[in-house]
Amino acid sequence: MTSPQALSLRNLTKTYGGGVVALRGVDLDVATGEFFALLGPNGAGKSTIIGIVSTLVRKSGGAVSVFGHDLDREPWRAKREIGLVPQEFNFNGFESVRQIVLNQAGYYGLPRRQAAVRAERYLRELGLWSKRNAVSRTLSGGMKRRLMIARALVHEPRLLILDEPTAGVDIELRRSMWEFLRKINAEGTTIILTTHYLEEAESLCRHIAIIDEGRIIENTDVRSLLRQLSTQSFILDVSSAPAELTELSDYHPQVLDDGSLEVVLDRSQNLTDLFAALGAQGVRVDSMKNKANRLEELFVRMLDRAGAEA
């Protein structure tokens, strides 16, 4: 017997009042245990999908099921499987950190004793235990984000949905949140996130769907997606500029300054041959990096292609 998908969307449509079409028949499956990214430009429909799954947005048509439970027919069973971390802060600014988490546990039916144990565990894990009695509106932006994650996890949902979880969060905190999300995913929680940081999606997620203008235009695993990149651009930090650029013409070299060189490799070329060609001219490569995030490069190309086809 196959386990049901964590999330299954079938022909999901949404037209807002005023005739704005946000979703044009979205089909999407997220496997149990997946770490899934939903990417797309602003207004593509990501937040509408999350809104419909969390029932804050009413769909115009289609079906949603969570771990096999239809959201319309079995809302009680479906909703208790979901934990939501929304984009905007949406907790009571006048309540304490601990009270907010305890209330959330109550809405999901957790008895008080069990809720207290869970609240302590997640507030500790997210570094908020020392702030448990603080009024929530006095927290910093990063703490508020972590509070929303603790709140979403207190009923230990099997599906955690995060809408731009690291927006406006500093790098150090972002990295620690990534580690935390990796950990709970490894423990079995299916995670869906939307993000504008493509580095985040590439680093965390195994599966990516790209949505544009209310349609899914790509839905595959990260490795397959990156394989679609026909060329990659690199910036090399070199000991000196190569004397004979014509020898490197296959790599489309551009000398940026004395110490750096930009090259473009297609899928038939490899870095070992490039380094050998540079070595032959006495040029040492000290370090290198992708010119742009690979996913970002692909993302922009796909959106351009989708725009041209439309």
Partner 1 sequence: MTEIRDLETGRANDARGDAGDYMAHTLVALKTIAWKETHRYLRIWLQTLLPPAITMTLYFVIFGNLIGPRIGPMEGYTYMEFIVPGIIMMSVITNSYSNVVSSFFGAKFQKHIEEILVSPTPNYVILIGYLAGGVGRGLFTGLIVTLIATAFADVRIHNIAITISVVFLTSVLFSLGGFINGVFARKFDDIAIVPTFILTPLTYLGGVFYSISLLPDVWRGVSMANPILYMVNAFRYGFLGASDIPIGTAYLLILFFIGLLGAFSLFLLHRGVGLRQ
Q: Which residues bind partner 1 (CB under 8 A)?
A: 16, 51, 54-58, 75-77, 79-82, 84, 86, 88-93, 103-104, 106-114, 117, 121, 151, 156, 158
Pairing of strands 285-290, 82-85: unpaired
Least separation in angstroms between CB 62 and partner 1: 16
**Kind of pairing between the strands at 190-194 and 207-212:** unpaired
C-beta closer to partner 1: residue 112 or 291: 112
Nearer to partner 1, 29 or 120 (CB): 120
* Residue located via tokens 């499987």: 81
Measure Cα distances from 124 to 36, 247, 280, 285, 308 in Å: 26, 59, 56, 45, 49
- 306 CB contacts (<8 Å, ≥6 apart)? 212, 213, 217
Q: How far is the CB of 185 from partner 1 (least distance, A)?
A: 18
Q: Answer for the pair 22, 42: CB distance below 8 angstroms, yes or no.
A: no
Q: Which long-range contacts (CB under 8 A, 24 or more apart) does 105-110 make?
A: 105/154, 105/155, 108/80, 108/154, 108/155, 109/80, 109/155, 110/154, 110/155
Q: Which is nearer to partner 1, 103 or 293 (CB)?
A: 103
- Whether 281 and 242 have beta carbons less than 8 Å apart is answered as yes
Neighbours of 104 (CB within 10 A): 22
Q: Which is nearer to partner 1, 89 or 178 (CB)?
A: 89
Q: Are 170 and 142 a contacting pair, CB within 8 Å?
A: yes
Nearer to partner 1, 109 or 282 (CB): 109
Count other Cβ atoms within 10 Å, centred on residue 246.
Answer: 7
Nearer to partner 1, 80 or 252 (CB): 80
CB of 121 to partner 1, least distance (A): 8
- Shortest distance, CB of residue 49 to partner 1, whole angstroms? 13
Q: With respect to partner 1, which residue has the nearer C-beta, 54 or 233?
A: 54
In the complex, least distance from residue 20 CB atom to partner 1, rounded to whole angstroms: 11
**Smallest distance from partner 1 to CB 176, Å:** 24
Smallest gap from Cβ 69 to partner 1, in A, equals 9
